[in-house]
Amino acid sequence: MSTARDEILQALRANRPTPENHPLPPVATLGDLDASRERFITSLKILGGDVLEPVEGETLDQAILRRHPDAKVICSNVPEARGTLPVEKVKTPQDAATIDVTVVRAPFGIAEMGSIFLSEAQLPINSFAHLGQHIVVLLSVDQLTANMHTAYQERPEFKTANYGVLMSGPSATADIQGVLIRGAQGVRSLSVWFT
């Protein structure tokens, strides 16, 4: 008895257009190749993200409290911020649900879209990036890549991470009468702290 797999593949082989007529085009690198901080910030703001600009003499912990004065539970997975909840306490995916602000470092950002990348390498647990109410993301300016083409070609993470999310601002929806709403299901805000 033939399996579903065999039957599907057989049907595809029998029905497909002539492969020789459809060669694979070479990888494209199109568009604007500006990888500047300014371009990244402009794009980030279009998608509802924001920059957490440091004030003279202020620590990251203080800056986070300035941005989120009501935050009780702040959980940091970076040495630059202490937070209020030790990250070791976040063991199961559900543990992240009580956090007001999560703090992580992104290995890179994409200037075209204002996107930051996170994978299991930066997260204590994958749900950490989504179940908290707000997220603060540390990003190094020299880890910006120009656009989606350069990102996919240059960044090894896309081929190595089991879970890799490009976040471009907070969770959003416009599903009720077209009104844009930030903070639909995941984080309500995303702030980038440049280091």
Partner 1 sequence: MSDKPVNHARAAEHFIEDTPHLQFHDERLWDMRQKRDAQMHILPEWQELREEASRIKEHTLSRLPEYLEQFETNARKNGIHVHWARDGAEHNRIVGEILKAHNARNLIKSKSMVTEECDMRPYLAKQGVTVTETDLGERIQQLDDQLPSHIVVPAVHKLTADVAKIFAKDYHTDPEIRDPHLLAEAQRQAARPVILHADAGMTGGNFVVAETGTFVVCTNEGNADLSATVPNLHIATIGIERLVPRMADMGVFIRLLSRSALGSPITQYTTHFRGPQKGGEMHVVLVDNGRSARLGMEDFWTSLKCIRCGACMNTCPVYRRSGGLSYGAVYSGPIGAIIDPTFNERKYSTLPYASTLNGSCTNVCPVKINIHEQLYKWRRVLVQHHEMPFVKREIMHMAGKLMGQPRMYRAAIKATEVSLSTMPRFVLYNWLNPWGKHRENPHPVKQTFNDWYRKNRETAAKPAAAPETKK
Applying CB under 8 A, does 1 fall inside the site for partner 1?
no
**CA triplet 74, 37, 102: central angle to 5 degrees?**
10
Region binding partner 1 by CB under 8 A among candidate stretches 39-47, 76-84, 101-109, 136-144 = 39-47
Distance between CA atoms of residues 194 and 46, nearest Å: 18
Residue in 7, 34, 53, 80 binding partner 1, rule: CB under 8 A: 7
DSSP calls for 1-27: ---HHHHHHHHHHHHSPPGGGSPPPPP
Give yes or no for residue 185 binding partner 1 (CB under 8 A). yes
Residue closer to partner 1 (CB basis): 63 or 114: 114
Helices marked H in 17-144:
37-46, 60-67
Give every CB contact of residue 56 below 8 A, 6+ residues apart in sequence.
none
Choose which of 8, 33, 121, 141 interacts with partner 1 (CB under 8 A).
8
Q: Is 187 in the site for partner 1 (CB under 8 A)?
A: yes
Rg, the chain, Cα only? 21
Instruction: Please tell me whether residue 42 binds partner 1 under the rule CB under 8 A.
Output: no
Could you tell me the two tokens for 149? 């083409």
Task: Please tell me the total number of residues recorded for the chain in this structure.
Answer: 195
| Site membership for partner 1, residue 16 (CB under 8 A) | yes
- Using CB under 8 A, pick the residue from 77, 102, 115, 122 that binds partner 1: 115
CB under 8 A: which stretch of 55-63, 66-74, 81-89, 125-133 binds partner 1?
A: 125-133
Query: Could you say which of 36, 140, 173, 195 contacts partner 1 (CB under 8 A)?
Result: 173
- From the list 139, 70, 152, the residue with the least C-alpha distance to 103 is 139
Contact call for residue 86 and partner 1 (CB under 8 A): no
Q: Does 21 bind partner 1 (CB under 8 A)?
A: yes
